[in-house]
Amino acid sequence: MAKLNFGGTIENVVTRDEFPLSKAREVLKDETIAILGYGVQGPGQALNLRDNGFKVIVGQRPDTPSWDKAARDGFVPGESLFGIEEAASKGTVIQYLLSDAAQIAVWPMIKPYLTAGKALYFSHGFGITYKERTGIIPPSDVDVILVAPKGSGTSLRRLFLAGKGLNSSFAVFQDATGRATDRVVALGIGIGSGYLFETTFQKEVYSDLTGERGTLMGAIQGIFEAQYNELRKHGHTPSEAFNETVEELTESLMPLVAENGMDWMYANCSTTAQRGALDWKNKFRDAVAPVFSELYGSVASGQEAQRSIDTNSQPDYRIKLEEELKELRESEMWQAGKVVRSLRPKT
């Protein structure tokens, strides 16, 4: 495990060079990896592991869209595609990739199959970090590990197929076998991670919940809405407001920031843009800092977790969620976005 110095902060990281795929295969050569859940992360991780030569089976409720998707992806009912309990019984590594709410509901069904020496794998620290709230308390004789790709399962798969990788964090919560670290790193390499950086279950879920509610989704949508609405208020057309708010950012600037960094972006734009960005960035930072402080406190206290548990477990949650998503989808800004995307040149 390499140690990298980030401005005085030392981090443990694992690269493909020091832990190649051949080593990962050797570590997991006698393992059967059972992917429980074929929704957000399941397909990408399952397909990447299978393509990398690992023994993978999928556990999913029959007669569901996810079961059908797994079958279309080449997992064969009765051979590599099973019901959740049967897959859990067959797996030596159980990748628990159901949604947080489903993990809570299914846990009593899964726990009996966590026999000594198995590994229980997560891609999100929620269930374990808030175990007093979720009831997900693993037996003491199994490894409890985590690999959390820093992106969606779709992105994980697309980058894998492009010969690249999506960076992931990894953590060991419980090492019952003495092999937990080798197992988790091998799985991280197997799913196609670019590199792995060490964390804890708690730090993963704190950063993840903050990020989702912050710059990854919540904050960015709020900023989009504020700027778009201000431009529209002053007579700018929907197309102009959307292009200046979203399209230029996502299509032009963010790919360059991803490639070279924001410092490069500042150095390679017009002097007018440089001056304005430097003058206003601190105003935005100082304006939102109290909101992020409140957000992190809500995550750390468990308030955000409890709200998720309470709302996601309601019988009409999906109906209410669809109403909220419909409002977002049918807003003028994202309807304008749909039109703008349709006008992009076809490759």
Q: Does domain 211-342 have CATH number 1.10.3720.10?
A: no
Q: 2-199 adopts what CATH topology?
A: Rossmann fold (3.40.50)
Is the pTM of the predicted complex or chain greater than 0.75? yes
In one-letter notation, the amino acid at residue 210 is T
**Domain ranges (residues) in the chain:** 2-199, 211-342
**pLDDT values of the chain reduced to their tens digit, one per residue, 347 residues:** 777 777 788 888 999 999 999 999 999 999 999 999 999 899 999 999 999 999 999 999 999 999 999 999 999 999 999 999 999 999 999 999 998 889 999 999 999 999 999 999 999 999 999 999 999 999 999 999 999 999 889 999 999 999 999 999 999 999 999 999 999 999 999 999 989 999 999 999 999 999 999 999 999 999 999 999 999 999 999 999 999 999 999 999 999 999 999 999 999 999 999 999 999 999 999 999 999 999 999 999 999 999 998 998 888 988 999 999 999 999 999 999 999 999 998 86
Tell me the catalytic residues: 124
Residue matched to tokens 């489903």: 102
Tell me the three state secondary structure of residue 96.
strand
Query: Which is nearest to 81 in space by CA: 91, 71, 72?
Result: 71
What are φ and ψ of residue 59, in 5° steps?
A: -115, 120
Distance of CA 48 to the CA centre of its chain: 15
In one-letter notation, the amino acid at residue 26 is E
CA–CA gap between residue 269 and residue 290 (Å, rounded)? 30
- For 94-144, what is each residue's pLDDT tens digit? 999 998 889 999 999 999 999 999 999 999 999 999 999 999 999 999 999
- Sequence-distant (≥ 6) Cβ neighbours of residue 88 within 8 angstroms: 34, 36, 59, 94, 109, 110, 113, 114
- For 44-97, what is each residue's pLDDT tens digit? 999 999 999 999 999 999 999 999 999 999 999 999 999 999 999 999 999 999
Per-residue 3-state assignment (H helix, E strand, C coil) for 269-303: CCHHHHHHHHHHHHHHHHHHHHHHHHHHHHHHCCH
CA–CA gap between residue 98 and residue 13 (Å, rounded)? 27
Burial class of residue 120, CB neighbours in 10 A (0-12, 13-18, 19+): buried
Distance of CA 196 to the CA centre of its chain: 14
Rounded to the nearest 10°, the torsion over CA 300, 130, 122, 168 is 10
CA–CA gap between residue 204 and residue 169 (Å, rounded)? 8
CA–CA gap between residue 147 and residue 222 (Å, rounded)? 30
